[in-house]
Amino acid sequence: MCATCGCSEGAKATVEGQHQHGHSHEHGTDGHVHGDGHVHDHVHEHGPRTETVSLEAAVLQKNDVLPERNRPWLPGRNVLPLNLVSSPGSGKTALLERTIREKGGGRSISVIEGDQRTSLDAERIRATGARSVQVNTGTGCHLEADMVWDALRALRPPADSVVMIENVGNLVCPALFDLGEAAKVAILSVTEGEDKPLKYPHMFQAARLVLVNKIDLLPHLDVSLERCLGYAREVNPEAELLPVSVKTGEGLDRWYTWLERAFSWQVPRF
């Protein structure tokens, strides 16, 4: 169960994606791990298929250990994992669609989609030409490290790429669960109101970057962007704040620059 709200007690998650084939032997990737640390990759491609994995949801304390199993996947491959968190309807999927179309040619972007039900978002991502794996959490309100582990094995991100983990829409529980990401990126829509950083401080404290989306709608709203940014700074003075409009493209150049800068951090980890 979720140690925060009990939402996933007895819940199961399904991981659905395209299983790829071919035979390769790599260090630091999926496969059979031997005592000397050597990992043999075994990938078998017979075209797309749906893979369903039943997972028992872990309590928060157990989840603290599980990211350490995920982290050996990516060292040496220069893959940047980012955990995108927000309320439902903030524009996470639309942000990913536009980012993939405008930046995907320069660096491969693949996506782990988290929702309670449906594969609608994964299908939207695949329509851009990017690889995507859908994780359905059932009654769970957040992704957990176990779910990401199975999704990674299905996704198989290439070297020198970005893995975007689009978490379940929720401003509470995802703040507390470490998936092994390099950073949490919080997306806040101005249509949600300017006070969300104060009402949900744990999420914004956990974020390294806050994207304030849908600023094109500000003329039609009784919302102050300045107050919204001020509240976010009050909660987390260290976070970088970027006002953007996914619809018009305003501010997205700064988001793309941030993504490239992220590769200059210490080796990304899972």
As a whole-number percent, the residues of the chain with pLDDT over 90 amount to 56
* Calpha distance 74→268 (Å, rounded): 8
11 contact partners, CB below 8 Å, separation of at least 6? 1, 57, 137, 138, 139, 140
* Burial class (CB within 10 angstroms; exposed 0-12, middle 13-18, buried 19+) of 7: buried
Average pLDDT, the chain: 80
Q: Are 140 and 168 in contact (CB under 8 A)?
A: yes
Q: Which CATH superfamily is domain 12-262 in?
A: P-loop containing nucleotide triphosphate hydrolases (3.40.50.300)
Helices (H), 49-135: 60-63, 67-70, 92-103, 120-127
Q: What is the mean pLDDT of residues 151-171?
A: 92
pLDDT at 14 over 80: no
What residue spans define the domains of the chain?
12-262
Helix (H) or strand (E) holding 152: helix 145-155
Is 43 a residue whose pLDDT tops 90? Answer: no
Place of tokens 């800068």: 261
Which pLDDT belongs to residue 56?
Answer: 38
Q: Phi and psi (nearest 5°) for 181?
A: -70, 160
Given this model, what pLDDT does residue 2 score?
59
Residue 62 or 141, more confident: 141
Looking at residue 44, what is its pLDDT?
Answer: 40
How confident is the model at residue 152, as a pLDDT? 87
When pLDDT is cut at 50, 70 and 90, the band that residue 20 belongs to is very low
Summarize pLDDT for 63-113 with one digit per residue, the tens.
555 555 555 555 557 788 999 999 999 999 999 999 999 986 678 999 999
What is the average pLDDT across 200-205?
97
| 136 touches 108 (CB < 8 A) | no
Which element (helix H / strand E) includes 166? strand 162-166
- pLDDT, one tens digit per residue, over 61-72 is 455 555 555 555
